[in-house]
């Protein structure tokens, strides 16, 4: 059985925060504002996984009101979602992502991001794709006020063996 999920996240850019995407710290004068490390890419991946599993969204599991998640690495949270996926006897067939940012340029970091996420997700590099685009100066992203990310995942639910 196949299960598809989609995820989206957007955070505003501010001074005094690190820019973390896919668990990788990217040199930038601005970082993303959020309760956790505000890693929009990892958040989009988590929501895509939860959507495919039919388990709601990341706010259900990691509410921003919970002090336990203050400044936490989103990769730690992603590992918890991977555990849920495994409990549901699912594995990732492939993951496709896109980061929407005017700057900094993301593609020089894409392979590092891919390796980091693939490791946490327990998949090969060939099962994950990282893309980046701008909004050509339009909207908050184009004005370098925010960064967003989208993710689509295809899960395969393992068949349970039938006892005879």
Q: Is residue 163 part of a domain?
A: no
Query: Residue 119 falls within a domain, yes or no?
Result: yes
Q: How many residues does the chain have?
A: 164
In a domain, 162, yes or no: no
Please give the Cα distance from 23 to 74 (Å, whole number).
7
Q: Is cis: bond before 104, omega within 30 of 0?
A: yes
Which CATH number fits the domain that encloses residue 11? 3.30.1330.50
pLDDT at residue 161 is higher than 70? no
Number of domains in the chain: 1
Whether 127 maps to a domain, the answer reads: yes
Using a 10 angstrom Cβ sphere, with 0-12 exposed, 13-18 middle and 19 or more buried, the burial of residue 156 is middle
Range of the domain at 151: 2-157
CA distance 151 to 100: 11
Structural contact between residues 155 and 93, judged by C-beta atoms closer than 8 angstroms? yes
* Nearest of 120, 93, 88, 100 to residue 40 by alpha carbon: 100
Q: Which two tokens stand for residue 48?
A: 């895509």
pLDDT 10s digits, 82-126: 999 999 999 999 999 999 999 999 999 999 999 999 999 999 999
**Alpha helices (H) in the chain, listed in sequence order:** 40-53, 58-61, 74-87, 110-121, 139-142
Whether 164 is covered by a domain: the verdict is: no
**Does the pLDDT value for residue 162 go beyond 70?**
no
pTM equals: 0.94
Residue 38 covered by a domain: yes
22: in domain: yes
Q: Per the domain annotation, does 100 fall within a domain?
A: yes
**Per-residue pLDDT tens over the stretch 7-35:** 999 999 999 999 999 999 999 999 999 99
Token pair recorded at residue 133: 């685009």
């Amino acid at each position: 059985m196949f299960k598809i999920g989609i995820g989206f996240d957007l955070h505003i850019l501010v001074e005094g925060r690190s820019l973390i995407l896919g668990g990788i710290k990217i040199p930038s004068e601005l970082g993303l504002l959020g309760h956790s490390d505000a890693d929009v890419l990892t958040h989009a991946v988590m929501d895509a996984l939860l959507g495919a599993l039919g388990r709601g969204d990341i706010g259900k599991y990691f509410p921003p009101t919970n002090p336990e998640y203050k400044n936490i690495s989103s990769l730690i949270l992603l590992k918890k979602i991977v555990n849920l996926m495994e409990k549901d006897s699912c594995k990732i067939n492939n993951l496709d992502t896109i980061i929407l940012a005017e700057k900094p340029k993301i593609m020089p970091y894409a392979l590092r991001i891919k390796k980091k996420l693939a490791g946490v997700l327990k998949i090969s590099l060939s099962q994950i794709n990282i893309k980046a685009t701008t909004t050509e100066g339009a909207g908050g992203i184009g004005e370098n006020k925010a960064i967003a990310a989208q993710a689509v995942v295809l899960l395969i639910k393992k068949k349970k063996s039938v006892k005879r």
